[in-house]
Structure 1
Amino acid sequence: MSATATATAQAQTSLSEKQSRILEYLRENADTQTYFKSRLIGDALDMSAKEVGTNMPAIENGDFEVDVEKWGYSSSTTWKVTS
């Protein structure tokens, strides 16, 4: 396993179950979509928008293969996600 893969695996183990689910959702959809609303992520993962918003900073501040940036707020926080 490469050093990058090892670091990513270690960072993922420090995520909660909800954070891991959100990260996996973003990874699966980042190639076809750039902007994600907390409300819509929550709908897809059976979470509230508040749960998504509370857990996103761990992903935003972590070192994963997706970059997450809080982008805007209108009816739900919007996140810009790039791979």
Structure 2
Amino acid sequence: MSATAQAADTPLSEKQRRILEYLQSNADEQTYFKSRLIGDELELSAKEVGTNMTAIASGDYDIDVEKWGYSSSTTWMVEA
């Protein structure tokens, strides 16, 4: 079984589910997301967002997530 399939089989935590839903609802209007700003919206720290984004990025969901940059906060490129 591939790492992607394993990640998709693993249920998301509450924080990961909230982050995924946020990204899904905003990916059509926006491509780049900073961990700090996602955290502000979801009342999480930038570190909590970054830690949980790896599970979303490696999972098989209806969005593609890629770590993009590090200026003032990790930036994620998200495509629907």
Report the TM-score, using the length of structure 1 for normalisation.
0.85
Which ranges of structure 2 fall in alignment gaps of 5 or more residues?
A: none
Please state if 1:42 is matched with 2:39.
Answer: yes
In structure 2, the CA distance between the partners of 1:74 and 1:16, relative to structure 1 (3 Å rule), is same
Displacement of 1:12 in angstroms is: 7.7
Question: 1:25 matched to which residue of 2?
Answer: 22
Aligned counterparts of 2:54 and 2:27: Cα–Cα separation in 1: 17
Which ranges of structure 1 fall in alignment gaps of 5 or more residues?
A: 1-6
Aligned partner of 2:73 among 67, 73, 76: 76
- The structure that has the greater radius of gyration is 1
Moved >6 Å (runs of 4+): none
Structure with the larger RCO, 1 or 2 (CA within 8 Å, 6+ apart): 2
- Which whole-Å deviations, capped at 9, do the CAs of 1:35-70 have from their partners, x for residues lacking one? 000000000000000000000000000000000000
Q: Is the 8 A contact 1:12 1:20 kept in 2?
A: no
Q: Is the 8 A contact 1:71 1:78 kept in 2?
A: yes
**Letter of the 1:22 counterpart:** I
RMSD: 1.5
Question: 1:60 matched to which residue of 2?
Answer: 57
